[in-house]
Amino acid sequence: MNGLNKIAIIGGGVTGMAAAYYAKQAGAHVTLYEASDRIGGKIKTVYRDGFVLECGPDGYMARKPTLTELITELGLDDDLVRSKTGTSYIYVRNRLRQMPDGSVMGIPTKFWPMVKTDLFTWRGKFRAGLDLVLPRVYAGSDISLDTFFRARLGSEVVEAMIEPLLSGIYNGTLDDMSIESTFPQFITIEQKTRSLILGMKSLTPPVQAGVKPREAGKFLSLGQGLGVLVEALRPSIDRLCLGTRVTAVRPHEVVLEDGTVESFDGIVLATSPHALGPLLGLPEAERLSSLKRTSSITVLAAFEAADVAALDGTGYVIAKSEGNALTACSWMHKKWPHMAPENKALLRVYIGSAFVPDLLTASDDVIADFALRELRKIQDVGTPLFTRVERHVDTMPQYEVGHKQYVRAFEEAMSTLDGVEACGAILHGVGLPDCVDSAKQAVSRIMTEQAVSV
């Protein structure tokens, strides 16, 4: 145990819970402080009438291994489910249009589907094709995704396909989003092959024998809901302090709201992004905490299957140009069949950030009615069996241009604080596997520091 015995974790979201697990595995006595009255943070699974309702994240990218490894260590791997896929749609120019076959993250990689699609004009298609001959855009310093993609593929492809697909992941806008911190793989591809189209094409995996490409989804989840993961991590905590807000962190000391000071061998900060600055009092932490964050509202609506127009696929994104208040609609019962009982349908819609501030204080009924009205402009649905509204206030950190530098400065400043480490969505990725990975690394650093200091 390298002389370490008492660890404090601050924040009980997936990052903090994973940190508790790794600390416990290393033999520590773990105390976890959580400001709210529940663990899980953004992960929240609710069960109703046979539906599994994911109010926050619903799955994670299978490609990144740390979370799957953790799930396997916890013995939950038998419950892993892979998302279903199918035709993807974009709502643009007043109707749902199929995404051209072979598009990967909005980048076209096949010639004929791109030629035949009605998503773009001939001019737009020609402009996208210039990607094959244009010089590199990224020149070593951070730029926005908007600048990068417009220069490579032109405005039409960006506005009708890339923006609706990618902006939803961070609940932001492409002109704010740093390419270095959000999708650095596009820089790597451009450096290697210059053309994005050729680079993405070379990365498309060959079709596996016996698997129809459209059935092999890229996302994993748990059949009983992600809440099961949080509960499986709970026994790693020796002392769980719910409803306990930490107000300051100093080397080896945690200060609670009532003024109590508690001492630890190591402290892991796994709070929401805005909490870092006030807790640490470091200018570099304040800088990170003050970066833009966005709020979002999601509405889950359950239906009889017969009351939802039957379409092949798992949902659609909505181009900004349509002026609809929604940015996307997931057909959860198609993407994740375990989430709805037979003959039922479950839709989840995302309300766009421009409409969110006014709606945040409205009642659930008002929000659900508004969302259904917008939804019915796009697809036919009957009267829902029930709806569930979830507000995510100020929670999604925006990785703006320059984000990497702020994180580097923050991590350098942190290295001067003995026995304190930070992890979570504000640093190296907002996805669940990124959060778990950062928790694992933070705990490992604490162990190493301790080993050196004894």
CB 292 within 8 A of CB 176: yes
Closest separation in Å from C-beta 403 to ligand FAD: 15
Closest to ligand FAD by CB, 291 vs 396, is 396
- Contact between 430 and ligand FAD by CB under 6 A: the answer reads yes
Query: What single string gives the DSSP state of each residue in 99-148?
Result: PPTT-BTTB---HHHHHH-SSS-HHHHHHHHGGGTPPP---SS--BHHHH
Interaction residues for ligand FAD, span 375-414 (CB under 6 A): 392, 395-396
- Contact between 58 and ligand FAD by CB under 6 A: the answer reads yes
Residue 52 pairs in a beta bridge with 47
CA gap 432, 233 in Å, rounded: 14
Closest to ligand FAD by CB, 114 vs 254, is 254
- Contact between 336 and ligand FAD by CB under 6 A: the answer reads no
- Contact between 351 and ligand FAD by CB under 6 A: the answer reads no
- Contact between 227 and ligand FAD by CB under 6 A: the answer reads no
- Contact between 16 and ligand FAD by CB under 6 A: the answer reads yes
- Contact between 317 and ligand FAD by CB under 6 A: the answer reads no
At position 57, the amino acid (one-letter code) is P
- Contact between 217 and ligand FAD by CB under 6 A: the answer reads no
Count of H-run helices and E-run strands, the chain? 18, 20
Name which position in 154, 227, 419, 424 contacts ligand FAD (CB under 6 A): 424
CA gap 166, 151 in Å, rounded: 17
- Contact between 272 and ligand FAD by CB under 6 A: the answer reads yes
Name residue, tokens 């310093």: 141
- CA geometry: angle at 347 spanning 328 and 307, to 5°? 125
Nearest Cα neighbor of 196 from 209, 213, 179, 212 is: 179
Closest separation in Å from C-beta 253 to ligand FAD: 14
CB 335 within 8 A of CB 83: yes
Interaction mask 231-260, ligand FAD, x per CB under 6 A: --------------xx--------------
Assign residue 54 a region: left if phi > 0, alpha if psi is -120 to 50, beta otherwise?
Answer: beta
- Contact between 444 and ligand FAD by CB under 6 A: the answer reads no
Q: Under rule CB under 6 A, how many of the chain's residues touch ligand FAD?
A: 37
Q: In 122-259, where does DSSP find H-type helix?
A: 122-129, 145-153, 155-157, 163-170, 179-182, 184-193, 196-203, 227-233
Interaction mask 280-309, ligand FAD, x per CB under 6 A: ----------------x-x-----------
Closest to ligand FAD by CB, 10 vs 347, is 10
Piece in contact with ligand FAD (CB under 6 A), picked from 135-143, 231-239, 430-438, 444-452: 430-438
Name residue, tokens 């375990």: 338
Piece in contact with ligand FAD (CB under 6 A), picked from 31-39, 119-127, 187-195, 283-291: 31-39
Name residue, tokens 């929670």: 395
- Contact between 157 and ligand FAD by CB under 6 A: the answer reads no
- Contact between 64 and ligand FAD by CB under 6 A: the answer reads no
Nearest Cα neighbor of 32 from 234, 250, 275, 259 is: 234
Q: Which residues bind ligand FAD (CB under 6 A)?
A: 10-16, 33-36, 41-43, 56-60, 245-246, 270-272, 275, 279, 296, 298, 392, 395-396, 424-425, 430-432, 435
